Amino acid sequence: MARIRLHRLTKSFGTVQAVKGVDLEIEDGELLALLGPSGCGKTTILLMLAGIYRPTSGDIFFDDQRVNDVPPKGRGVGLVFQSYALYPHMTVYDNIAFPLRLRKVSREEMDRRVREVARIAQIEELLQRKPSQLSGGQQQRVALCRALVKEPDLLLLDEPLSNLDARLRIETRTEIKRLQRQLGITTILVTHDQVEAMTMADRVAVMRAGLIEQLSTPIELYERPANLFVASFIGDPPMNLLPMEYRPDGGKPQLVNSHLSVSLPEAARAGLEQSSSNAVVLGVRPEDIRLVPEPVDGMPAGEVFMLEPLGRDTLVDVRVGQQPIRVLVPGGTEIRPGTRVWLQWDWDRQHLFDARTEARLGVNADAGRPAAAG
């Protein structure tokens, strides 16, 4: 168990800067997710934590001790690769026992620990098999055991669910979370799948191009994304993002673009005034929009273009002018393409962003979490 702190961490490969200066503090026993698209630097950070990469500049602290110069062997880190990297020529037992064998642990002790961790992960019957004889889910549990058997202070998981099929994913993520809670090990999870991050992590750091864009709990990320990138990344189906122009004069504040216009209450003016220019982006989630058959004052109207039935919900593609806006309605709703509808949403469910800086425009000044430091 360990408290981890990253201080102004950077990593360059030749002329390419993969990590551009990251500050992060992870509590003992916490499960933190590093979430972002490929190439954002999350795996690089993971490998630096493991000691496989050395930081170009900046520091890594385990429990206030600087570990930059400590090689992987001395860090007490368990690492589970996306590919699992199970040694193909060894049995499951030998794979799990390997870290202990390297440390010259006694036979009895080694056996005890391997069997115990195998029992916790429920793979005892598989101990004599070879990795090629295991399914993907089983391989992953073996990889986890190998990481856990040395009782690490820090557990690192690289895209743990991405190689599993959809069904298995749901079961496995519960498993991993349960295990982590039970053992209380500080864990860092790297993923590009926001569902994975949101469902498993205590906190999520959303990353882009080597920097952390926002660090919050999952709910906070969903409710108050700090910028356009986070807003578009979190949430499935993704948030509708509409570039608009703010018209401050003449009565109520208005947002206008070539396809539609929206009237906002007076209370919204304060936030809009924070924008560096009149170009703003209006964000509203499909699940927050309602379709009504009659005109609504100040709200746009459009025509139903296409339906995507998802079972529990139906995703409706509404065209306002040429602008597509997607709306999530309950599955059984009767609706047909070509129908004229009005869109309605609560103005405090919408998000406003400065189109130039991409930052969130708070309703009250500083009401939202600031975009995390880089």
* 135 forms part of the interface with other proteins (CB under 8 A): no
E-strand stretches of the chain? 4-13, 16-26, 31-35, 57-62, 65-66, 77-80, 154-158, 186-191, 203-208, 211-216, 240-247, 254-256, 261-263, 279-284, 290-292, 301-309, 313-320, 323-330, 340-344, 351-354
Using CB under 8 A, pick the residue from 27, 54, 74, 321 that binds other proteins.
Answer: 74
Using CB under 8 A, pick the residue from 103, 107, 349, 356 that binds other proteins.
Answer: 103
Q: Give the CB-side neighbour count of residue 59, counting CA atoms within 13 A.
A: 9
Among positions 238-267, residues that touch other proteins (CB under 8 A) are none
Query: By C-beta, is 154 or 304 nearer to other proteins?
Result: 154
* 136 forms part of the interface with other proteins (CB under 8 A): no
User: From CA 371, how far away is CA 359, in angstroms rounded?
Assistant: 8
Using CB under 8 A, pick the residue from 75, 173, 203, 351 that binds other proteins.
Answer: 75
Query: By C-beta, is 26 or 372 nearer to other proteins?
Result: 26
Residue 29 buriedness (CB in 10 A; 0-12 / 13-18 / 19+): middle
Query: By C-beta, is 154 or 291 nearer to other proteins?
Result: 154
* 79 forms part of the interface with other proteins (CB under 8 A): yes
Instruction: Print burial letters for 282-294: b (CB count within 10 Å at least 16), e (below 16).
Output: bbbbbbbbbbeee
* 211 forms part of the interface with other proteins (CB under 8 A): no
Joined together, the tokens standing for residue 281 give 């982006």
* 152 forms part of the interface with other proteins (CB under 8 A): yes
Using CB under 8 A, pick the residue from 3, 21, 23, 81 that binds other proteins.
Answer: 81
Query: Is-cis flag, bond preceding 237, omega within 30?
Result: yes
Size of the site for other proteins (CB under 8 A): 46
Give me the residues that bind other proteins (CB under 8 A), please.
1, 47, 50-52, 62, 65, 67, 69-79, 81, 83, 85, 87-89, 98-99, 102-103, 116, 119-120, 122, 146-147, 150-153, 171, 175, 178, 182-185
